[in-house]
């Protein structure tokens, strides 16, 4: 008996379901020739700001631009260091470098795979010194002012924002959330005694709408959310060649706008995001129930202060590469996010980091595997994934015994 392959991600079904509505967006753009800016962009920006409970949303052409524009608008650049984690997509550090600053890393937490707040504190306390004339914190490592922290809400989880924000206040640092994988994730702040949506806690937050994201465009797209009016004003100029009025360039900017067609598509898809996220949570719950007692597999950890949206469902196993081969042979799609930590990437050799600098990230990178996860994943498909996983784990432990 042959079984249908199980994709890592099914992007076709949601587009088939929404095809008629999405085509109307394209038709509307053709009929009005409104390809750049205009009502479709404004409608999406308003709707996404409301979804994130922020005052402003600035649509841009990618999540990378969103991060870069947020840093630049906040005045971060040459002479600055920005702290982030080595377990993230390279866009986080590309944005830092391309803004003119230097990335510095702190390790991740063993359970959440997001920024380890104890390591962040230790870094600020022991690897930096306070310049009392300026009030700035200076990194021993780079000799530069530590200007900002970018916590990454990886896999649709949330970084532990309360202590991160407290440390940022204490050391006068800006916080820009990388929420590119966390549309709609929530965090309960004990400091404020309320839930917050990802993207509403930092000075600004970056979102990617790359097609495979929980909210994905039909091409490249991104956005920044913020409650800071001035920051929003500067980011609107940065995305549009530094102009607020056509051909009056207050600053030098970029070509980083969000297309009207993508904005129109995103506004329609946004209406379904909460339901899709709920389905992802149900799938995660099912994996948890099916795999809960299995030995040799570490399942995702969801802190009680977090409602994760499972952009990715990441498990950890020994012999990860063998498991991936086993699942591929069984027709099951998987992926690795990410196989090589950023501090060990060739692109960052000049930063001077070495192997064993971030032991948790390095250990995790060798063991993580992202299983199929998308809103339409069926219980039957999950059963097959789990069956193959358990078969592999049983055969490897039999070999060991
Ligand atoms: C954590 C993270 N940051 C930044 C980005 C960059 O987004 P984009 O690909 O839209 O530029 C991504 C997208 O993959 C991401 O996953």
Residue nearest ligand 1's atom 14 by CA:
89
Classify each residue of 218-233 as buried b or exposed e, where b means 16 or more C-beta atoms within 10 Å of its C-beta.
bebbbbbbbbbeebbe
Q: How far apart are CA 243 and CA 201, in angstroms?
A: 28
**CA atoms in the 13 A half-sphere facing the CB of 53:** 12
Q: Which residues contact residue 206 at a Cβ distance below 8 angstroms, ignoring those fewer than 6 apart?
A: 63, 66, 67, 70, 95, 176, 177, 178, 179, 180, 222, 223, 224
Asked if omega into 160 is within 30° of 0 (cis), the reply is no
Task: Give the nearest ligand 1 atom to 154 CA.
Answer: 1
**Cβ-based neighbours of 210, under 8 Å, separated by 6 or more:** 62, 63, 180, 216, 217, 220, 221
pLDDT (mean) for 301-325: 97
| Pair of tokens at residue 226 | 């913020």
State the Cα–Cα distance between residues 336 and 324, nearest whole angstrom: 9
Task: Please tell me the distance between residue 84's alpha carbon and the centre of ligand 1 in angstroms.
Answer: 14
Q: Residue 2 pLDDT > 60, yes or no?
A: no
User: Does residue 365 or residue 401 have the better pLDDT?
Assistant: 365
Q: Which atom of ligand 1 is nearest to the CA of 181?
A: 16
Reported as a single tens digit per residue, the pLDDT across 178-187 is: 999 999 999 9
The confidence score (pLDDT) of residue 401 equals 57
What six digits make up the tokens of 306?
A: 């977090």
pLDDT at 348 over 60: yes
- Residue 352 burial (CB < 10 Å; 0-12/13-18/19+)? exposed
Is the predicted pLDDT of residue 341 greater than 50, yes or no?
yes
Q: What is the DSSP string of 255-312?
A: B-BPBHHHHHHHHHHHHHHHHHHHHHHHHHHHHHHHHTT-TT-BPP---TTEE---SS
Burial of residue 295 (CB within 10 Å: 0-12, 13-18, 19+) is: exposed
Structure confidence at residue 293 (pLDDT)? 82
Structure tokens at 304: 């009680």
DSSP 109: P
**Largest Cα–Cα distance of the chain, in whole Å?**
74
**Exposure letters 194-204 (e unless 16+ CB within 10 A, then b):** eebbbbbbbbb
196 vs 175: CA distance, rounded Å: 15
Gap from CA of 216 to ligand 1 centroid (Å): 11
SS3 label, residue 98: helix
How much of the chain is in helix, strand and coil states, percent to nearest 5?
40, 20, 40
- pLDDT, residue 339, reads 97
Q: pLDDT tens digit string along 238-270?
A: 999 999 999 999 999 999 999 999 999 999 999
Asked if 198 contacts 51 with a C-beta cutoff of 8 angstroms, the reply is no
Nearest ligand 1 atom to alpha carbon 88: 1
Gap from CA of 3 to ligand 1 centroid (Å):
33
Its pTM surpasses 0.85: yes
Which secondary structure element, helix H or strand E, spans residue 22, and what is its range?
Answer: helix 19-32
Mean pLDDT of all residues in 267-283: 98
Mean pLDDT score, 25-38: 96
Most informative mutation of 59, 60, 64 for ligand 1 (most atoms within 8 A of CB) = 64
pLDDT tens-place string over residues 227-241: 999 999 999 999 999
For residue 28, name the pLDDT band (cuts at 50, 70, 90).
very high
Q: Quick check: 15 pLDDT over 90?
A: yes
- Rounded to a whole number of angstroms, the distance between the first and last alpha carbons of the chain is 32
Q: How confident is the model at residue 3 (pLDDT cuts 50, 70, 90)?
A: confident
Centre of ligand 1 to C-alpha 208, Å, is 5
Distance 257 CA to ligand 1 centre (A): 16
Q: State the closest ligand 1 atom to the C-alpha of 65, by its place in the atom list counted from 1.
A: 11
Q: Are the CB atoms for 332 and 285 separated by under 8 Å? A: no
- In Å, how far from its chain's centre is CA 292? 26
pLDDT tens-digit series, residues 109-166: 999 999 999 999 999 999 999 999 999 999 999 999 999 999 999 999 999 999 999 9
Q: How far is the CA of 383 from the centre of ligand 1 (A)?
A: 30
Instruction: Name every protein residue with a CB atom under 6 angstroms from any ligand 1 atom.
Output: 62-64, 88-89, 91-92, 152, 178, 180-181, 208, 210, 222
pLDDT attached to residue 399: 72
Q: Measured in angstroms, how far is the CA atom of residue 179 from the centroid of ligand 1?
A: 9
Measure the CA–CA gap between 381 and 4, rounded to whole angstroms: 9
Q: How far is the CA of 282 from the centre of ligand 1 (A)?
A: 25
Name every residue whose Cβ is closer than 8 Å to that of residue 5 and which is 6 or more positions away in sequence: 331, 332, 333
- Pocket mutation for ligand 1, best pick of 63, 65, 154 (most atoms within 8 Å of C-beta): 63
- At 1 the pLDDT is 46
DSSP 347-365: GGGGGT--TTSSHHHHHHH
């Amino acid at each position: 008996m042959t079984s249908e392959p199980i994709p890592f991600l099914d992007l076709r079904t949601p587009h088939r379901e929404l095809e008629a509505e999405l085509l109307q967006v394209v038709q509307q753009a053709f009929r009005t020739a409104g390809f750049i800016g205009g009502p479709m962009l404004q409608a999406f920006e308003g709707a996404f700001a409301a979804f994130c409970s922020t005052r402003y949303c600035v649509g841009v052409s990618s999540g990378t631009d969103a991060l870069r524009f947020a840093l630049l608008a906040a005045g971060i650049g040459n002479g600055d260091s920005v702290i982030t984690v080595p377990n993230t997509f390279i866009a986080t550090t590309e944005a830092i470098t391309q803004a003119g600053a230097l990335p510095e890393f702190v390790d991740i937490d063993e359970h959440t795979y997001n920024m380890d707040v104890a390591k962040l504190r230790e870094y600020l306390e022991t690897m930096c010194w306070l310049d009392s004339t300026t009030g700035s914190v200076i990194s021993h490592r780079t000799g530069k002012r530590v200007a900002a922290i970018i916590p990454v809400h990886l896999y649709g989880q949330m970084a532990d924002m309360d202590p991160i924000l407290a440390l940022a206040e204490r050391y006068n640092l800006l916080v820009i959330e990388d929420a590119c994988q966390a549309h709609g994730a929530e965090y309960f702040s004990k400091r404020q005694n309320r839930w917050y949506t990802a993207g509403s806690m930092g000075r600004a937050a970056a979102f990617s709408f790359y097609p495979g994201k929980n909210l994905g465009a039909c091409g490249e797209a991104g956005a920044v959310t913020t409650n800071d009016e001035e920051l929003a004003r500067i980011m609107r100029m940065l995305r549009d060649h530094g102009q607020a009025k056509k051909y009056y360039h207050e600053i030098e900017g970029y070509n980083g706008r969000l297309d009207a067609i993508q904005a129109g598509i995103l506004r329609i898809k946004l209406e379904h995001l909460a339901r899709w996220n709920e389905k992802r949570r149900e799938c995660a719950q099912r994996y948890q129930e099916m795999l809960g007692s299995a030995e040799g597999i570490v399942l995702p950890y969801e802190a009680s202060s977090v409602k994760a949206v499972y952009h990715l469902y990441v498990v950890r196993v020994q012999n990860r590469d063998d498991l991936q081969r086993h699942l591929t042979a069984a027709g099951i799609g998987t992926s690795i996010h990410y196989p090589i930590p950023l501090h060990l990437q060739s692109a960052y050799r000049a930063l001077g980091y070495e192997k064993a600098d971030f032991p948790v990230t390095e250990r995790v990178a060798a063991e993580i595997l992202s299983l199929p996860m998308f809103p339409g994943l069926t219980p039957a498909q999950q059963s097959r994934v789990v069956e193959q996983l358990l078969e592999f784990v049983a055969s490897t432990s039999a070999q060991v015994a």
